[in-house]
Amino acid sequence: MIRRVAILCPGPSLSSFDGPGGYDLVIGVNRAAVAFRCDVWAACDWQLIDRERRQVIGTPLLFTNVASAMWLRKRNPWPATVDEFEWYLGGDGLALPGTSFSALAAVWYAVAKGAHIVNVFGAGLSGKLDFDGTAAGETRTDARWERERCLWEELTDLLSRRGVVVERVIK
């Protein structure tokens, strides 16, 4: 039974994660899966998947969107299981805010798997650098972070009402 999940995002505070002990499931988001062994790799962008796949530690289940899964199947299959997400998870017809962001989709995935406590590391929701100083690209704008911060608040409020604790662990 999955009750406690660690989600590892690639932001600078990823260094506060001290290992998988005490977690039933570890989900690495985007480049965080190159820093720690994870059970699941959550990545929406097929270009990132293709670029980082050889650096990912182990062969975690890949949790991605349908378009990226289709691309992988046709061109360059991922050696582990691929679990596609849609815009709805959990079977209750609830619209899920923010699933266009890999980190938020990872939270929904954790909840769909039964998580009651979700600790999120490396999700500073600001800046342009990953945990290792790598520049993440042009998508990390102030406007993007503002939108994602609003979605995190909406998500955590909604899940709190459902009895799920989502805590961003920030150094």
The yes-or-no verdict on residue 16 having pLDDT over 80 is yes
The yes-or-no verdict on residue 155 having pLDDT over 60 is yes
Distance CA 88, CA 86 (A): 5
- The pLDDT of 30-59, averaged and rounded, is 91
pLDDT in tens, 94-123: 455 556 688 988 998 899 899 999 999 999
Q: Contact 39/25 with Cβ under 8 angstroms? A: yes
Crossing angle of the two packed helices 102-112 and 142-161, in degrees rounded to 10: 10
Give the per-residue pLDDT at 60.
92
Domain of residue 67, residue span:
4-169
DSSP class per residue in 39-105: SEEE---HHHHHHHTTTSSS-PEEEEEHHHHHHHHHHS--SS-EEEE-S--TTS----TTTTSHHHH
Give the per-residue pLDDT at 91.
45
The yes-or-no verdict on residue 158 having pLDDT over 60 is yes
Q: Number of folded domains in the chain?
A: 1
Task: Give pTM, 2 decimals.
Answer: 0.86
Say which residue, 101 or 78, is predicted with more confidence. 101
